[in-house]
Amino acid sequence: MAKIIVVTSGKGGVGKTTSSAAIATGLALQGHKTVVVDFDVGLRNLDLIMGCERRVVYDFVNVINKEATLNQALIKDKRTDGLFILPASQTRDKDALTMEGVQTVLDDLSKDFEFIICDSPAGIEQGAQMALYFADEAIVVTNPEVSSVRDSDRILGILQSKSMRAEQGKNVKEHLLLTRYNPDRVATAEMLSVADVEEILAVPLVGVIPESEAVLKASNQGAPVILDQESNAGQAYTDAVRRLLGETVEYRFIEAQKKGFFKRLLGGK
Amino acid sequence: MGIFDYLLKKGKPNTAAVAKERLQIIVAHERRKRTEPDYLPMMQQEILEVIRKYVQIADDQVSVQLEDSDDCSVLELNITLPE
């Protein structure tokens, strides 16, 4: 039986797809056979972030409609062993994903994989609810910013009331992943701190990803940022994956950088 | 932050603290709404009508809240009567 983990946020643009790609890659790198599923029907983007956009032939909706088999639609990642991608469809039909269809596909994937990562669309409507419904665990991606934190709280409410586990009286295990974190701005009291967001949302932390130029560079090239182990963001994602697997890992990149005397005097970055 | 910034930003407000306070209030409010039973708004409306048979009050002068504690729920009814 695979563990199903949804990557969700409510708000758009906070880093769901970047995080899904990085975490799925990280799990595969640690030796766990993983598939990452794009639930964003109509606005497929995971394929671009994973760098497999030209290899998409069949998609999630084709499999649900039995126009293709699961094995025909699954794309084997070229960089990382044991990693597969199930792309979303570009159809404009929002109701293309049916509950029964999604359940059948996830059940089939469950037989072959250890982890199923569901990359949720933004919003709190049908697509997002479908992505989280079958989840055992949830990674709530949040930016240290008011609208993102509020929307994360809404999506937590939906996880606790409208997921399958909630309907069965069980819990979905929640993890907070703080992204685009800027320790320098936290130090000058311009940005909510890790502790602030943890206190407001009351969800255990799994990772803090610093704001990093490496993220754009990675998406430009279609290589998940976790593969860039020279970057802070890549290392922070590796730490988050290890915590997800139950390890205790100390937090890095959450303190402001100490600057030299002259830099401080002149205000250089 | 350089010496020039330092000279320019005397008494700059702590905006992160403002954000935290606003979030704590709105999130607590929205959580309460999420967990309250759906008959509550209707009940509030009917209570308002009953009171209006005797005293004229505005909509916002009645507040109904359900507080859940460990082993019981408390329905709190707050009516502000005009002077």
B→A interface, C-beta within 8 Å = 1-5, 14-17, 19-20, 22-24, 26-27, 30-31, 34
Write out the residue range of the structural domain in which residue B58 sits. Answer: 38-83
Six-digit token string for B64: 């109904």
Residues A22, A45: Cα–Cα separation, whole Å:
14
Are A63 and A105 a contacting pair, CB within 8 Å?
A: yes
* Chain A neighbors of B4, CB-CB under 8 A: 267
Residues A229, A236: Cα–Cα separation, whole Å:
9
What percentage of chain A exceeds 70 in pLDDT? Answer: 96
Whether residues B15 and B50 share a domain: the answer is: no
Whether residues B44 and B83 share a domain: the answer is: yes
Is the pLDDT score of A259 beyond 80?
A: no
What percentage of chain A exceeds 90 in pLDDT? Answer: 88
Whether residues B42 and B31 share a domain: the answer is: no
Q: What is the pLDDT of residues A58-69, one digit of tens each?
A: 999 999 999 999
Whether residues B29 and B51 share a domain: the answer is: no
Six-digit token string for A198: 């943890």
DSSP line for B10-50: TT---HHHHHHHHHHHHHHHHHHHHHS-TTHHHHHHHHHHH
Picking from A150, A158, A162 by the largest number of B CB atoms within 10 A of its own CB, the best residue to mutate is A150
Whether residues B44 and B80 share a domain: the answer is: yes
Nearest CA to A37 among A92, A93, A112? A112
Residues A249, A205: Cα–Cα separation, whole Å:
11
Whether residues B53 and B24 share a domain: the answer is: no
Q: From B1, which residue of chain A is nearest by alpha-carbon distance?
A: A267
Domain count, chain B: 2
A→B interface, C-beta within 8 Å = 145-146, 149-150, 153-154, 157, 161, 186, 188-193, 196, 199-201, 264-268
Q: What is the pLDDT of residues A99-130, one digit of tens each?
A: 999 999 999 999 999 999 999 999 999 899 99
Whether residues B48 and B81 share a domain: the answer is: yes
B31:A153 CB<8 A? yes
Residues 6+ apart with CB under 8 A from A244: A5, A23, A27, A139, A175, A206
The alpha carbon of residue B50 is apart from the nearest alpha carbon of chain A, in Å, by 34
A150:B19 CB<8 A? no
Whether residues B42 and B28 share a domain: the answer is: no
Residues A240, A175: Cα–Cα separation, whole Å:
10
Whether residues B76 and B51 share a domain: the answer is: yes
* Beta strands at A173-181 and B62-68: parallel, antiparallel or unpaired: unpaired
pLDDT on residue A4:
97
Whether residues B18 and B7 share a domain: the answer is: yes
pLDDT on residue B7:
55
Are A9 and A142 a contacting pair, CB within 8 Å?
A: yes
Whether residues B48 and B74 share a domain: the answer is: yes
Q: Supply the ipTM of this predicted assembly.
A: 0.85
Report the residue from A154, A200, A267 with minimal CB separation from B24: A200
Whether residues B31 and B51 share a domain: the answer is: no
